[in-house]
Structure 1
Amino acid sequence: MNVCVLGGSGFVGTELVIRLVRAGHWVRVPTRSLARAEQLRVLDTVELSVANVHEPRVLSQLFAGCDAVVNLIGILNPRRGASFDMVHTELAAKVMAAARTAAVRRVLHMSALGADGQAPSRYLRSKAAAEARLRAPPHSEATRAEPGVTSFRPSVIFGPRDTLTNRFAELLRLTAGVVPLARARARFAPVCVYDVAEAFLRALGMHASAGEIYELCGPEVMTLEEIVRLTARVARLPCRIVPLPDAIARLQGLVMGVLPGKPFTLDNFRSLTVDAVCRDDGCRRLGIIPQPMLAVLPAYL
């Protein structure tokens, strides 16, 4: 199968592309910089190219000859020239339009657990809007079969190169273990990047997965505080968590949201008010036994 992976040089994308190649697929990976895709250069059936995937004409060219398209592109915070609407919602609509034009049979889309049009954060609302755009009927009468759309809603994802456990470990080192933590009791079911990539691969090979939404969670429900403490224990770092009252956490989001890199924003705080815990076991539906954090963290922390 010929597959185009948007976001293929990223955290989840790199793992997915490697698995696709091992499974015998040919993979096209557009990227903003070839340097970001260095790990993929050695794979024989990967075609790398520099491209602006927000241009509809470019997307149509990228999707030509492809049987499936995977969209993994997403941001946790907007930045100059990249709003939630642009990166999540508008890109999803462009992907679907280009997939129709190129007669792509399958579109696999990365969403987020908690995506809902009434969610408290712009991030989660934009993720829901993206899913809606993918499933909206075409503006004109379709002359070809519609691409089958499959969406994935993971909880927080951990693994090598993640921005979860690695960031907390770095913070613990910088602060001698003292962490002022917003929404310390927020609940997650952390899922390993290997299991997320495997979910995409398996769904791609299942005709019955077209039209489905898979919530992806790990085997353990943990609070944010428990995730930080486990990270510290595995990395052998001191850890003293200071849970912040919501009023202070909101202020923290306002202040840190204007710092370079936006390490924490008010919108992040609002996302944390929604527990990222699965109601439907998508891993089980795909035949995946998800790995606990303690089985994976020691290999890279």
Structure 2
Amino acid sequence: MMIKNALLLGGSGFVGTWIANRLSKAGVRVTIPTRRRERNKANIMLPTVEVVEANIHDEATLVELMRGQDVVINLVGVLHDHDSRLPYGKGFAAAHVELPKKIVAAMKQAGVRRLVHMSALGADPAGCSEYLRSKGEGEAIVMAAAKDLDVTVFRPSVIFGIGDKFLNTFARVFKLAPFFASGGMKAKFQPVYVGDVADAFVACIENLATFGQRYELCGPKVYTLRQLVEYVRELTGNQHKKVKELSDLWAYLQAGILWLLPNPPMSPDNLRSMDVDSVASADGQTYPGWNPTALEAVAPTYLGKVAPKSKLDDFRYHAGR
């Protein structure tokens, strides 16, 4: 199979920008649909990438976008939904459940067979949060289509790297606040580098052995949330600032208040997600040849107190270079 054209859904996001860059370097023509083209400067500047304004939730539009494509990569995901309900709100349903259904149907109609789908570690239709339940439902829809399509599913832990909203959020709190206070400090994560995730997505496209498979993408080391926060505190030169763990009551009160912000850094559903450790499972399948980059090898380059190169890299990232 020779991949020449790729439809990258969710390509304007953090991981999508990295994957678009990898595909462009490989000479693949990439189409990235977005609601606001002017907000995608990093991708517009890539030589083989076309950013088009389109509503991917419209079924007819989705079919037209897929015509002539060799692979569809779905990265669409949301972390928050203000329409909280059981089993999940309308926002989670639209992004994580209904869209995968539409993607599968549109691929069949357009005659595209190859689908690479971004799920999440801990995704489960019976999970402890709306996010994990909706992600689990979407993953199940994609895997059920494996009899008709060539499907690969990835389940990453939290993803870090230049431009992330994970470690950078901790750094911003230390910059603005006299201390860091949060619930879920004992929750465990196995952070994975965005460059490794992008490499796996691109490498699997033409690998027939990955068809019908589901892979966990995790870094080489497990950390508690407290350990990660304290590491960012050290990197940013804020050792004098305290890290405090909130009780469940205060943690959910804090999350509820933050949830009201336009771009909330935390929500009650995020806290519920942390009831399940985001680490490799005993029976999970690792991507072939997986050799993940250590957090300590990358985080200092963009979070370090003295890291002039990281500033240049950050400018290049946001400029699309």
* TM-score after normalising by structure 2: 0.87
CA distance in 2, matches of 1:160, 1:67: 29
CA distance in 2, matches of 1:98, 1:227: 41
Q: Which residue number in structure 1 is paired with residue 167 of structure 2?
A: 165
Q: Is the 8 A contact 1:203 1:286 kept in 2?
A: no
Q: Secondary structure at the match of 1:152?
A: strand
AA of the residue aligned to 1:206? N
Matched, 1:120 2:121: no
Matched, 1:8 2:8: no
Q: Which residue number in structure 1 is paired with residue 144 of structure 2?
A: 136
CA distance in 2, matches of 1:188, 1:76: 16
CA distance in 2, matches of 1:152, 1:292: 19
Matched, 1:19 2:22: yes
Q: Secondary structure at the match of 1:249?
A: helix
1:153-206 deviation per Cα after TM superposition (whole angstroms, max 9, x unaligned): 100000111100111100111113x11121101000000100111110111121
AA of the residue aligned to 1:132? A
Q: Secondary structure at the match of 1:241?
A: strand
Matched, 1:231 2:232: yes
Q: Which residue number in structure 2 is paired with residue 87 of structure 1?
A: 95
Write the mapping of 1:92-241 to structure 2, written as runs, cut at 5 A: 92-136=100-144, 146-176=148-178, 178-238=179-239, 239-241=241-243
CA distance in 2, matches of 1:300, 1:293: 11
CA distance in 1, matches of 2:22, 2:145: 32
CA shift in 2, pair 1:8/1:260, >3 Å: closer
Matched, 1:53 2:56: yes
- By how many angstroms is 1:295 displaced? 0.5
- By how many angstroms is 1:291 displaced? 0.8
Write the mapping of 1:23-34 to structure 2, written as runs, cut at 5 A: 23-34=26-37
Consecutive unaligned residues of structure 1, counting only runs of 5 or more, are 139-144
- By how many angstroms is 1:248 displaced? 2.2
* TM-score after normalising by structure 1: 0.92
Q: Which residue number in structure 2 is paired with residue 267 of structure 1?
A: 269
1:179-235 deviation per Cα after TM superposition (whole angstroms, max 9, x unaligned): 112110100000010011111011112111111111010001000011111112122
- By how many angstroms is 1:136 displaced? 3.3
CA distance in 2, matches of 1:183, 1:95: 35
Q: Is the 8 A contact 1:188 1:275 kept in 2?
A: yes
Alignment match of 2:69 (pick from 66, 70, 74): 66
Q: Is the 8 A contact 2:35 2:54 kept in 1?
A: yes
Q: Secondary structure at the match of 2:289?
A: coil
CA shift in 2, pair 1:204/1:184, >3 Å: same
- By how many angstroms is 1:281 displaced? 6.4
- By how many angstroms is 1:36 displaced? 2.4
CA distance in 2, matches of 1:18, 1:82: 32
- By how many angstroms is 1:134 displaced? 1.8
Alignment match of 2:40 (pick from 37, 62, 66): 37
CA distance in 2, matches of 1:196, 1:40: 18
- By how many angstroms is 1:247 displaced? 2.6
Q: Which residue number in structure 1 is paired with residue 278 of structure 2?
A: 276
Q: Is the 8 A contact 2:169 2:265 kept in 1?
A: no
Q: Secondary structure at the match of 2:148?
A: coil
Q: Which residue number in structure 1 is paired with residue 314 of structure 2?
A: none
CA distance in 1, matches of 2:297, 2:134: 33
Q: Secondary structure at the match of 2:279?
A: coil
CA distance in 2, matches of 1:69, 1:23: 16
CA distance in 1, matches of 2:39, 2:118: 20
Q: Which residue number in structure 2 is paired with residue 141 of structure 1?
A: none
Q: Is the 8 A contact 2:121 2:216 kept in 1?
A: yes
CA distance in 2, matches of 1:261, 1:195: 27
CA shift in 2, pair 1:207/1:37, >3 Å: same
- By how many angstroms is 1:23 displaced? 1.7
Alignment match of 1:247 (pick from 244, 249, 261): 249
Q: Is the 8 A contact 1:103 1:147 kept in 2?
A: no
